[in-house]
Amino acid sequence: MIDILTFNCPILVSKFEAHEKIKLDLIDSIDKTFTDFSNLNGDEPPINISKTDWYTKSDQKREYFDVLLPHLTPHLNTVFDIIDYKEWNYDNIWFQKYRKNNEHSWHRHHKTMFNCIYYVELSDDGPQTMFRDPIYKDKTFNVNAKEGDIVIFPSMLQHCSPKNQSDFLKTIVAVNIE
């Protein structure tokens, strides 16, 4: 027998103050980023995303890091200070672009503590990330994020990007934190 005790876990939604300042340069540098799907193997789940650098080798230069990280690091320091998580590190950073009818199925990020989603482009009717309760899997929710927001959540939470029914792009930068 297993007793399950539950408590509310933190999901932090913050307005990224540098968003308007860096948005256009960030999108431009993301659009110029080389993406490589050659190291996919047959075990990888199929994806329905217009563009991502998730599969690109880790030693590949990503210019958007130079645009984003000087602003993101102090922002995350401030947000993680709220939950007394002081010694954190970037584990992985990547972007994803969703055009109409693109989606990302339910998944979670293993071997990491927190996940962050920065909404670089998100229309008012664009799909927000949905979350699924890890115990009661029929319970789903979203956090009403908007463009320019960063959502931080424990990596045990399954999440997905529902189908983009909008004619507008959804662009996110995802970050794993250890």
Confidence band (pLDDT; 50, 70, 90) for 15? very high
Question: Concatenated DSSP letters for 88-128?
Answer: --EEEEEEEEE-TT-BEEEE---S-SEEEEEEEE--TTSPP
- Summary mean pLDDT of the chain: 91
Cα dist from 101 to 2, 17, 97, 125, whole Å: 41, 30, 12, 13
CATH number of 90-178: 2.60.120.620
Confidence band (pLDDT; 50, 70, 90) for 10? confident
For 71-102, write each residue's pLDDT tens digit. Answer: 999 999 999 999 999 999 999 999 999 999 99
For 97-155, write each residue's pLDDT tens digit. Answer: 999 999 999 999 989 999 999 999 999 999 999 999 888 889 999 999 999 999 999 99
Report pLDDT for 58.
75
Contacts of 9 (CB under 8 A, 6+ apart): 153, 154, 156, 157
